[in-house]
Each structure stands twice: as structure tokens, then as C-alpha cells.
């Protein structure tokens, strides 16, 4: 990967922070309280933009703590396009399914995508993560890079060293003719599994991986809906005011005459993520929920 000596990096997680220069790989590790780490992460990111911190640049934290620093992100990162030069890439992790409670399990990508000037990236595979992360580092604009923690153990083909994917471009990961399913991050794999499950019922499903939440790549979705006439959006976040609402509104406006059935959305219930494993499994959308929605759409 190309060296960027002018860019310093701050990568921190829950309970630990690592500050390093990518050119010489020197680092110092700090053990900090989890909540203070989240607050400090946001502060360091903004300090970087204002030119205050010694080693500013990038942060990695739990997205559940995002609201702690979203004001700073909004005021600094969102207007950096007009006030400053140089890109910033801010990694964060999210995802329910580990009984981590509401503080560590929320999906807040819609909140970040609502900030003008921010790009919000959510990869679903190791190769996409590598290619999109390289693009985020090189991008002159601020990028929030969100990873689902349940995908950290996922294995996949190793991309070439120069692999890079453009930010703002979706991908058709499974072609189909009857129903279009749009998803992102870990839910892409649930959507593909649901598509394979309903294939036995004679339903052909096309699955689109958004890859990037902001900006949205809507043209492939409209093209797919023109073919299938049915649309389902699936994401891990709660349904009300999620990214699915934005996609549904745009397709209803620009692709209305291609629709043969109401647009469906699958997501989490509008409650805080439960701590109980059994309740969390019931709360978290999965392939069965997506498959049921596909069958309803196909029968409409």
C-alpha cells in the first residue's frame, strides 16, 4: 500500500487506544476506561481537524457511543469540506448478537448519513473491507468506516495488494428476476441465505449490497426494480427512520410505475437492543424474517 507520511493515525477500541505513525509503525498503548475512550476518540478526531492534537487522524470505537461525539463530528467533519483540506477516515464497529446491551449493539448509520459532507461505508466481506478502507484512507473527504463486529471472524478470498473499491458504488451479489433485496454489511449474508431458501419455492431473488450508505448508489436499485417490480430493504438498524426509508422514498418517487407491490422493509424492532440472549435473538432481524418478507412480496 502506498505510504502517506503526512497522515497520522489514531486507532482506539473499547478499553485500549493505540497511537501510531504509519511511516515508522512506532506506537504507544494507553489503557483507558471504556466510556472515556469513546469520548476521547471523538475529541481526538476533531482535534485533528482543528490542528491541535500531536498525533491526530483516525479513530476506531464502538458505534454505540457515537451520540457522545456526534455533535463534534457534525460540526467539524461535516463542514470540513468547506473549511479545511485533507481527508479523515474514522473507523467504528457495530452489531448486535453478542448480548452486549444497548450501549454496544445499536446501528446508528442513519444518524451519521444524515450529516452533510460525511461518507458512510459499511462493507460486508473481507475483500470489500480491504478495498473500501484503502479508498477511505485516500479519499480527500471525511469518511466514517463502519464494521460489523460479527464479521470479524469471516474468511474470504484475499484480494490483490492494489485492490481498491470506489466509495459510493453498490454491487449485485446475487442476480434474480422476481424480487429485489437491498441490504448492507452483515445483513447482506442473511439476505443471500434467504434468497437461497426461497429459491426452492420458485422465487428468484436479486440481492444488492449497498457497500456505502452515504452517498447511496441508487441507479442499480432502480434498474433492478425495473426488472423485478418488487423491492425489499433489509438492515440491522431499527426500521423507523432507517436508511431503508430513504431508499423506499426514492424508489417510490423515481420508480413508482415499475412497482407491482408495496415496498417492504425488514429491520430491528423500535426498542433498545435487549441484553438477554433469547430476547436479542427475537429482536435482531435474520434470514427467516427476510425470507418471510420475500414470500409476501412474491405473492402480492
The Cα–Cα gap between 241 and 24 comes to 44
Residue 199 lies in a domain: yes
Residue 259 lies in a domain: yes
- Integer angstrom CA distances of residue 208 from 4, 110, 124, 184, 273: 33, 18, 11, 8, 26
Strand partners, 180: 206, 231
Q: Which residues of 269-283 are buried (b: 16+ CB within 10 A; e: fewer)?
A: eeeebbeeeeebeeb
Predicted structure pTM score: 0.74
Tens of pLDDT, residue by residue over 241-253, are: 999 999 999 999 9
Can you give the CATH number for the domain in which 202 is found?
3.40.50.920
> How many domains does one find in the chain?
2
What 3-state DSSP class applies to 217? coil
Confidence band (pLDDT; 50, 70, 90) for 182? very high
Residue-range definition of the domain harbouring residue 188: 171-299
Instruction: State in Å, rounded, how far the first CA of the chain is from the last one.
Output: 50
| 179 and 132 fall within a common domain | no
Residue 76 lies in a domain: yes
Tens of pLDDT, residue by residue over 18-60, are: 333 344 343 333 333 333 444 444 444 443 433 333 233 344 4
**Which of 25-29, 52-56, 135-139, 198-202 is predicted most confidently?**
198-202
The Cα–Cα gap between 266 and 228 comes to 18
pLDDT, position 148: 85
| Mean model confidence pLDDT for the chain | 75
**65 burial type by CB count under 10 A (0-12 exposed, 13-18 middle, 19+ buried):** buried
- Integer angstrom CA distances of residue 15 from 53, 102, 146, 263: 20, 18, 19, 42
The last residue of a domain, from among 151, 184, 204: 151
Tens of pLDDT, residue by residue over 59-93, are: 444 444 445 555 555 555 444 443 333 445 555 54
| 51 and 183 fall within a common domain | no
Amino acid at each position: 500500500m502506498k505510504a502517506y507520511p503526512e497522515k497520522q493515525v489514531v486507532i482506539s477500541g473499547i478499553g485500549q487506544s493505540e497511537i501510531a505513525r504509519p511511516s515508522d509503525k512506532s506506537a504507544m498503548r494507553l489503557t483507558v476506561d471504556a466510556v472515556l475512550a469513546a469520548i476521547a476518540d471523538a475529541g481526538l478526531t476533531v482535534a485533528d481537524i482543528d490542528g491541535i492534537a500531536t498525533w491526530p487522524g483516525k479513530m476506531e470505537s464502538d458505534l454505540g457511543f457515537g451520540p457522545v461525539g456526534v455533535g463534534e463530528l457534525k460540526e467539524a467533519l461535516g463542514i470540513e469540506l468547506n473549511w479545511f483540506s485533507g481527508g479523515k477516515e474514522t473507523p467504528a464497529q457495530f452489531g448486535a448478537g453478542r448480548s452486549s446491551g444497548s450501549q454496544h449493539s445499536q446501528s446508528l448509520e442513519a444518524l451519521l448519513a444524515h450529516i452533510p459532507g460525511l461518507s458512510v461505508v459499511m462493507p460486508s466481506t473481507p475483500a470489500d473491507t480491504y478495498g473500501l478502507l484503502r479508498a477511505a484512507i485516500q479519499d480527500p473527504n471525511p469518511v466514517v468506516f463502519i464494521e460489523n463486529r460479527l464479521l470479524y471472524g469471516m474468511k474470504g478470498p484475499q484480494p490483490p495488494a492494489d485492490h481498491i473499491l470506489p466509495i459510493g458504488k453498490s454491487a449485485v451479489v446475487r442476480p434474480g428476476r422476481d424480487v429485489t433485496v437491498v441490504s448492507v454489511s452483515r445483513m447482506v449474508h442473511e439476505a443471500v441465505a434467504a434468497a437461497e431458501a426461497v429459491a426452492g419455492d420458485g422465487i428468484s431473488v436479486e440481492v444488492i449490497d449497498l457497500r456505502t450508505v452515504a452517498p447511496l448508489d441508487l441507479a442499480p436499485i432502480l434498474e433492478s426494480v425495473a426488472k423485478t417490480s418488487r423491492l425489499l430493504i433489509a438492515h440491522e438498524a431499527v426500521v423507523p427512520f432507517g436508511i431503508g426509508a430513504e431508499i423506499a422514498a426514492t424508489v417510490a418517487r423515481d420508480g413508482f410505475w415499475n412497482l407491482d407491490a408495496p415496498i417492504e422493509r425488514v429491520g430491528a424492532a423500535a426498542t433498545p437492543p435487549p441484553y438477554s440472549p433469547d430476547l436479542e435473538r427475537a429482536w435482531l432481524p435474520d434470514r427467516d424474517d427476510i425470507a418471510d418478507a420475500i414470500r409476501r412480496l412474491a405473492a402480492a
